[in-house]
Amino acid sequence: MKEVSTKLLVIGGGPGGYVAAIRAGQLGVPTVLVEGESLGGTCLNIGCIPSKALIHAAHAFDAARHQAHGSPLGIKVQEPSIDIAQTVRWKDGIVKRLTSGVGALLRKAGVQVHKGWAQIEDGKTVTVQPAEGEPVRVRCEHLLLATGSEPVELPMLPFGGAVVSSTGALSPESLPRRLVVVGAGYIGLELGMAYRKLGVEVAVVEAAERVLPGYDEELTQPVLDALEKSGVVLHLGCSVQGYDEEHGVRVRSVRADEFALPADRVLVAVGRKPRTTGFGLESLQLDMAGRYVAVDAQCRTSMRNVWAIGDITGDPMLAHRAMAQGEVVAEVIAGKHRRFEPMAIPAVCFTDPEVVVVGKTPGEARAAGLDCIAAAFPFAANGRAMTLEATGGFVRVVARRDNHLILGWQAVGQGVAELAAAFTQSIEMGARLEDVAGTIHAHPTLGEAVQEAALRALGHALHI
C-alpha cells in the first residue's frame, strides 16, 4: 500500500475542513485533506448555497406571478412559467463554480487532496479508499476531524421514493403538486416557502405548538403571518405516523385524532445529526459530550494531537462556526496563540421574511438574571423598507441597563441577513448603545433601523 506522511491530516472537505487546510497551508504546515465526495461538503453542495439559489429563484418567480395579476409598481407581465430543470442547472452551475474555487485555493496553499473515504486506524494513521484504485495510508502528526453532519431520518418515514431529505428537495426533476414538509424548523420552512412560491401546494407538520420553535415567539410572528398569507397549511402540535402513496402522510394531533394529508412528495426536515460513525472514530475512544465529540477552547479532543471542528462538536451546527474553528486549529498547530471563544455566533433563517439572531434574546437575558433593556424599531417606519415593499418585521436590541453594554440583536424582515455582520461585530467589540446610536448610518437603508433601535433603547428614537 502506498504511504504518505504529513504534519496535518484533515478528514472532511466541508467549510471547516477546507478552511483549516487552506490556513495551515498558508502557514507552511504540510497538509493533506481527505474528502469522500465533493469539496465544499454539505454547505456548498447540498446545503447553504444551493438552498439559497433555489430560494432566490422561487422568490423571482413568485414576484413575476404577482405582477401578472396587477402590480402597484405599474409592472405588467403575462402569466409566467418556470422550467425547473433549467433552475436546477443554474443552481448546479453556482455550486460547481464555488467547489472548483475551493479546489484552486487548496492547490494554491499547497494542500494535497485525496478523494476517497477515510478509515481511522489510530490517532496518527488513516487509510483512504478511493472509488477506484488502490488505498493510500496517510501518517500524520496531527489529525483533524471535520466530518460534518447528516439529515435525521425518521423510522416511520425512511428516505427513498417520494420521501426525501433536504438533499433531494434541492434537485427536483419535477415539481410535485402537493408537498408535505415534516418539521417547521429553519430547513423545513426555508424549503417549504420556496416550493410554495413555485406554485406547489404545501402543508407543514410540526410536533411543537408553533413554527421555528427554537426562536422567540415575537420574532417568528411575521414568519407565521407570511406562511398563512401565502397559503401554506400548518398542522402544529402534530406528529407523523407514516406514509403510503394511496393515502399520503398519516398524522396524529395532540388530541389523538388521526388524519391523512395527500402528498406527492414528503420532505423530512427534523434536524441533523453529527457524522461520527462509519470511519473508525470509535477506535480512538475520545471523550464525548452526548452524541458530539468533546473539545476544549482550542478544539482539542481528549487524545493528544487529535482535533475536531464543526458539526461533530455540537451546536450551533453552522458553516461559519466550523470555518472559524478550522482557522483556530490551523494557527495553533502552526504555533500561534489562538482560542475559539467568540462573544456571539450569528444564526440566520432564510425564510421570507428572514430571521437573524445574534447574542442573547430578552428571554435569555432574563433567564441569566440580567437586568436589561430591550427595544425594537419596526420596518414600517423605515423608508428603505417601504421602497422594497417589505415593511413587516423589526430590529431589536438587548443591552444591560446599568452600563448599556449590548448583549444581543434580533431582526426579522426582508434582507435582514445582511445586518448580521454589524450585529456580531458590535458584540465582539464590546459596543454600548451610545456607540451604535452615535454612528452615522447611511440613508435610506435597512441599517437605519439598527441605529433607531439603539436610540429607542436610550429613550429618544427619532422616527417613531
Catalytic residue ranges = 443
Q: Please name the residues in contact with 138: beta carbons below 8 A apart, sequence gap of 6 or more.
A: 3, 4, 5, 6, 9, 32, 34, 114, 125, 126, 127, 128
Amino acid at 398: V
Put residue 290 in one of left, alpha, beta given phi > 0 → left and psi -120 to 50 → alpha.
Answer: left
Grid coordinates representing 430 are 464590546
Nearest to 145 by CA among 374, 306, 325, 341: 306
Task: Return the half-sphere exposure (C-beta side, CA atoms, 13 A cut-off) of residue 147.
Answer: 21
Place of cell 400548518: 234
Grid coordinates representing 204 are 407543514
Nearest to 267 by CA among 160, 182, 185, 177: 182
Give dist(CA 67, CA 332) in Å, integer.
55
- Quote the strand ranges of 153-290, DSSP E: 163-164, 178-182, 201-206, 233-236, 238-244, 248-253, 258-261, 265-268, 272-274, 288-289
Phi, psi of 211 (to 5 degrees): -75, 160
CB 40 within 8 A of CB 98: yes
Place of cell 431529505: 165
Place of cell 430571521: 355
Put residue 316 in one of left, alpha, beta given phi > 0 → left and psi -120 to 50 → alpha.
Answer: beta
Task: Return the half-sphere exposure (C-beta side, CA atoms, 13 A cut-off) of residue 339.
Answer: 5
Q: Sort strands 406-413 and 394-400 into parallel, antiparallel or unpaired.
A: antiparallel
Q: CA dist 196 to 188, 200, 228, Å?
A: 12, 5, 11
Nearest to 360 by CA among 216, 208, 460: 216
Angle (deg, nearest 10), helices 186-197 and 48-68: 40
Helix (H, G, I), strand (E, B) or coil at 400: strand
CB 302 within 8 A of CB 291: no
Give dist(CA 416, CA 410) in Å, integer.
9
Number of helices (H), then strands (E), belonging to the chain: the values are: 13, 24
Phi, psi of 93 (to 5 degrees): -65, -40
